[in-house]
Chain A
Amino acid sequence: MSDNISRRDFLKLSGLGITAAAVMTGCGPSSRYVVRHAYVDMPEYNQTGVSTFYATTCQECPAGCGIIVRTQEGRAIKIEGNPNHPVNLGKICSRGLTSVQGLYNPDRIGGPQKRSRGEQNITPMNWEDAVTVVTNGLANSGKVAFLLGLTSDHLFDLVTEITTAANSMPPFRYSSLATLEGRATLVKATEEMFGKPNLPYFDISNSDVILNFGASFLETWISPLAYSRGFKNFRKQKFGKRGYLISFEPRQSLTSANADLWVPALPGSEGYLAMAIGKIVAQIKSLPIPLMYENITISDASKISGVSETKLQEIAEIVARAEHPIAIPGGGALVTENGLQTAKAILGLNILHKNLGVPGGVYLTNGDSPTTNLDEIAKLIQEMNAGNIATIFIHGTNPVFELPKSLGFTEALKKVPTVISFSSFEDETVIESDYVFPDHTGLESFGYQRVLAGSDREAISSVQPVVQPIHDTKATVDVFLAAATSVGGDISAKIKYTDEVDFLQQKITPLLDSGGFYNAPELPTFWSKWLQYGGWWKPEMGLEIPEDNNQLSEKIDLKLPKQLSENKEFHLITFGTQMGDGHGANRPWLQETPDPMTTLTWNSWIEINPDTADKLGIHDDDIVSVASTTGGESIEVVVYRYPAIRPDCVAMPFGQGHTALGRYAEGRGSNPAEIWSSLLNQAGNLAVFETKVSITPTGKRRPLARQESKAGVYGEH
């Protein structure tokens, strides 16, 4: 990517190559103020039969992939990757592709509503009244809370400004996806190891051996498209060199399925494995054994994890021989009680190899990554229960669905006098709210998303509307700005933006001349390029090189994974799917796109090793009751006999089991969050993998909608 990329080059690169098509800017749906014209005055961007393309950012997950949306006659038709965007380089995943099904979903909320909690008693409102409600909420600045999602960074920034101005509680950000991927733990471990609370960037493209501890980076982990591209480069290196992927995971995810070696390790034992590998590698390379890894014997590690000593030796030899072996801590390895120590032990392997800040090594991304730990959410719940919260604003997350039931969020919500949701859909949280003031969906709104972990350079991705809002919705930023103007006091004094676009423009002004791949003398030019290219980023790779904090010489302390009584108690593994944090469940094509490993559609399931299932007398499509052995909660779910899972583990996908969220999502499968243990690890991350369950057949059956032929693939009829 060069500094002076021309518009022509851009089109050529984009592969669209369509003469009539141009990535539009500054006009069209992204006009700041909507003026209605008679249809005969067709605006120039809207020629009948000619497509118009807009660059924006995918809002389906926080990775911040650049997309180009094909529109025609004012309708969003197809999502394509933005070929220039540093995160995804023109690629796109299933979730992004189906975002038009969110935009045009028949179950969207059409306008502001006042609701009775738990009932279908809805009174439509107008936006003036809605702003008044928000203003009243803000007025009581000591008793207001904001619970936001990981997308819409600009909203988070504005809310942070508001809370700072009013000196109220800072906003919380929660996503179950971040919980499952162990994001908070990773950030904390990075802070302890390298001194900065940033997400690390793993340059797998140039490494020759990957030791992957639980990160499902080909599916959902942090920035799946960026890592998928990295995986491709890793496999197809220069001179026909092919990287070797070793994956440690109790249940084979798609990432482990693509590994050259899958090692089914007991959940919670990954730290021991990392230590053992570190120790053997140090021995092979005749390095002094770091203190971090000293405290383990190979046979202990083998016993605890269930991985044979020879296999450990073999892996360590591969690692020792490699030039740039990279060790990735993620997902399953981090969401156990040992999570933080495990992450440190794994990151330590990179230090051991001096694999920091070199090609094929570990870098640090720029900027902080504000993810609220679950311990803070727990504190918020305490406050709510104590009656210290008068108004809670919920945007971009669905806490009633996503938080573990054992945390008691739903009960706490009942104690909050005013609950305001900004959701586009009637989800579980909306049902428990007093007001819903629907925001635009991602394809109708302005904004930006800081690219954290998928890009090898500093990048901010821009969001612009590709179609005019199809319902009576209003940008939440505009709602807050309007309320901030009328609330008076500190807020009105400090928050001085005329509208959302003004806010965005002021925010990006510092980028005007800070060495991006384009520069502009003044804001309007910059703004138009910002929209046209779908963001701003640096022309060449550049990430911070992590500093070794000499943590290898600190001992780490791991807890032994709990012993389970065989065939009675199982580790419950929850994995992310294309449903993301659950809001994808109302996209029918996401429901119908088969799960890559099981080919199942439209439901959730529980994966059980066939041997275990035989012992328990469980068949495919049986409905079993899955009960938490600690909490006592239980859910019913259909069995899929999965050949690639440890016999002492069972696994469930996350994202189904909605009781609301529209016709495509409701009443489908079950939600594992209902039986999650509320145990936290040292980083305050929910230790999801510490959930232990028992399995009881219910005698009921329900055939799962699988694409594969059971007879053909498994020989069962």
Chain B
Amino acid sequence: MAVEAKPLYSSKATEHQETNAEELRKEHLMLDPMPRDEMNQMVMNAMHTTTKKYWVFLIGFGLAVVVLLFGAWGYMIANGMGVAGIRRPVFWGIFIVTFVFWIGISHAGTFVSAILRVFKAEFRRPFTRAAELMTTFGLAAGALYPLIHLGRVWVFYWMIPYPNARWLWPNFRSPLVWDFLAITTYLLSSTIYLFLPLMPDLAMARDRTTGWRHAIYKVLSLGWRGTEAEWLRLRKAIGIFAFAIIPVMFSVHTIVSWDFAVTMVVGWQSTIFGPYFIIGAILSGVSAVVTILYIIRSTMKNFDYFIRPEHFDGLGKLILIFSMAWAYFFFNEYILSWYGGEEALKQLLTLHATGPSAWVWYLMLICNVAIPWLFLWNKKIRRTPWIMFIITLLVNVGMFAERYTIIPLTLGHQRNPFDWGIYNPTIVEISIVLGTLCLFIFLYLLASRLIPLVPVWEVQEGQMSHTFRKVGKTEIPSVTELE
């Protein structure tokens, strides 16, 4: 194993030596080690602590899922799609908006985890698990929508390629089939990617629990013992997956964008939609990670040790960059459309900005561009968790507005003005949308007490590789790369 030590945080550390070491320890989780067992216990404690409030929330969200999601959906199945607000020409409404939104959110979980892992960004360590869970649950919520929006959901399986009496495969030319395959692939791979680093932690939990929990962890940890060979293989597998999942992630969201980009719909038919959607997805996803980290940090025991302002700071910088990238793509799409001079498209874009639903468009720009650009350049703001919480929530509101603009508002103003139409979501649709949000929260709440939300071994590994080294009289924080 090659060991290479390099200085970290060098610039400022050298200037104020004595006090700095203490400050750096407070600032950086990696430099603030804790005995292994104590840390394990902290995570176990966080998992075991269930307050009355927790149960109220858990049951509340569970009920909300049953009523808002399954109740409203059942009502819609029994009566027909007409209970939703969609109409000619807006055949896709808030369901597809929310679908794209969840898929987008779920992207960044993996992105944050995999990209930062690949580039060995050390600050990633405590929150990769939280991000990966967000991916899985976001997909679980999002993947319901292709079913929810079907006119005849009871025959949804006709979309699945399987040998059947009709002697008919699905239409592989249809982006919906690509979608179906891409989402399934992504769900599968991101679940594996979540599971691999989870194994040692599950084994840790297995060894510290009794009863039903023990039984579950025993099964889930697949007999992990922690031998050198096991670690070696795990590292290799994670390494491979971290690389492999990045192209999967890019392709999935590109494919989601193709649902729109390959059509003849004015405003959808665009070559830039692939990267535009990916950037948008990452922007909303990274923001969602911050939102979730804030909630975890402020509600769960011991988590202010793991999640520190440095993490908000780092993610805040990412958001700022992606907000700029998103704005670039947005501008790009406009200027190309303008240059193309297609009458219907010009009319459409004008209507987005001036029509009766223009507030959605402005909301999108304010939340996605104005707010990040105004606030996120400031380190103090980036390091204040509650402000970050609000900003990231707003970014996601903005991204929801973006998808709303792209889908119903664009469909409503196509080439034939005679057929234009305004779409307004009905209470049933809103209920289903809130229902999937509740489902996401419910699953997360459940997971927070069943799965170690912090990858303990990764944190410990990181802390072991971070040390203060004496260079002359100065103590310099340094990291050892294990490869």
Contacts and interface: CB of A to CB of B under 8 A. Distances in A.
A–B contact, 8 Å CB criterion (strictly below): yes
Interface of A: 708-709, 711-713, 717
Interface stretch (B125-133, B313-321, B415-423): B415-423
Contacts of A717: 355-356, 422
B422 A712 contact: no
A441 B413 CA distance: 46
B421 A709 contact: yes
A712 B355 contact: no
Contacts of B420: 709, 711-712
Contacts of B355: 711, 717
A114 B447 CA distance: 74
A712 B344 CA distance: 12
B417 A713 contact: yes
A713 B421 CA distance: 11
B356 A712 contact: no
5 contacts: A708-B418, A709-B419, A709-B421, A712-B419, A717-B356
Interface string B87-111: 0000000000000000000000000
A709 B351 CA distance: 15
B422 A711 contact: yes
A709 B418 contact: yes
Nearest to B417: A712
A46 B416 CA distance: 47
A654 B474 CA distance: 97
A717 B409 CA distance: 13
Give the residue among B416, B420, B421 with the most A Cβ atoms within 10 A.
Answer: B420
B402 to A, nearest CB: 22
Contacts of A712: 413, 416-420
Interface extent on B, as a size class? 10 to 19
Contacts, number: 22
B197 to A, nearest CB: 53
Interface in B402-437: 413, 416-422
B379 to A, nearest CB: 44
A656 to B, nearest CB: 24
Nearest to A714: B417
Given A709-B419, A712-B418, A717-B355, 10 more contacts: A708-B418, A709-B417, A709-B421, A711-B417, A711-B420, A712-B416, A712-B419, A712-B420, A713-B417, A717-B356
A708 B418 CA distance: 5
A708 B88 CA distance: 11
Contacts of A711: 355-356, 417, 420, 422
A659 B355 CA distance: 40
A711 B413 CA distance: 9
Contacts of B416: 712
Contacts of B417: 709, 711-713
Contacts of A709: 417-421
B75 to A, nearest CB: 25
A412 to B, nearest CB: 48
A709 B355 CA distance: 14
A75 to B, nearest CB: 27
Nearest to A717: B356
A257 B419 CA distance: 21
Interface string B328-372: 000000000000000000000000000110000000000000000
B418 A713 contact: yes
A127 B84 CA distance: 51
A709 B413 CA distance: 10
Q: Which 6 A-B residue pairs are closest in the complex by CB-CB distance? A: A712-B417, A712-B420, A709-B420, A717-B356, A711-B420, A712-B418
A708 B417 CA distance: 9
A479 to B, nearest CB: 46
A147 to B, nearest CB: 44
A643 B419 CA distance: 19
Give the residue among A708, A712, A717 with the most B Cβ atoms within 10 A.
Answer: A712
Give the residue among B413, B416, B417 with the most A Cβ atoms within 10 A.
Answer: B417
Nearest to B355: A717
A478 to B, nearest CB: 46
A708 B420 CA distance: 8
A709 B418 CA distance: 5
B277 to A, nearest CB: 28
A29 B99 CA distance: 58
A708 B356 CA distance: 17
Contacts of A708: 418
A708 B89 CA distance: 12
Interface in B144-187: none
Give the residue among A708, A711, A713 with the most B Cβ atoms within 10 A.
Answer: A711
Nearest to B354: A717
A413 B355 CA distance: 56
Interface string B267-295: 00000000000000000000000000000
A633 to B, nearest CB: 37
A626 to B, nearest CB: 29
A107 to B, nearest CB: 25
B265 to A, nearest CB: 16
Nearest to B351: A711
A98 B102 CA distance: 49
B92 to A, nearest CB: 18
A717 B417 CA distance: 12
A621 to B, nearest CB: 14
Nearest to B414: A712
Contacts of B422: 711, 717
A295 B47 CA distance: 105
A639 B419 CA distance: 21
A711 B417 CA distance: 8
B354 to A, nearest CB: 10
B425 to A, nearest CB: 18
A717 B418 CA distance: 13
Nearest to A712: B417
Contacts of B413: 712
B90 to A, nearest CB: 11
Nearest to B416: A712
A712 B347 CA distance: 11
B408 to A, nearest CB: 14
A717 B355 CA distance: 8
A526 B421 CA distance: 58
Nearest to B89: A709
Contacts of B418: 708-709, 712-713
A712 B415 CA distance: 10
A438 B421 CA distance: 45
Interface string B357-394: 00000000000000000000000000000000000000
Contacts of B419: 709, 712
B441 to A, nearest CB: 36
Interface string B3-47: 000000000000000000000000000000000000000000000
A95 to B, nearest CB: 25
Contacts of A713: 417-418
Nearest to B347: A712
A584 to B, nearest CB: 26
A354 B420 CA distance: 52
Interface string B219-262: 00000000000000000000000000000000000000000000
B240 to A, nearest CB: 54
A183 B422 CA distance: 45
A598 to B, nearest CB: 13
B179 to A, nearest CB: 30
A195 B404 CA distance: 72
A713 B356 CA distance: 15
A711 B420 CA distance: 7
Nearest to A708: B418
Nearest to A710: B420
A709 B356 CA distance: 14
B56 to A, nearest CB: 44
A709 B421 CA distance: 6
A717 B358 CA distance: 12
Contacts of B356: 711, 717
A99 B327 CA distance: 60
A634 to B, nearest CB: 33
A708 B419 CA distance: 6
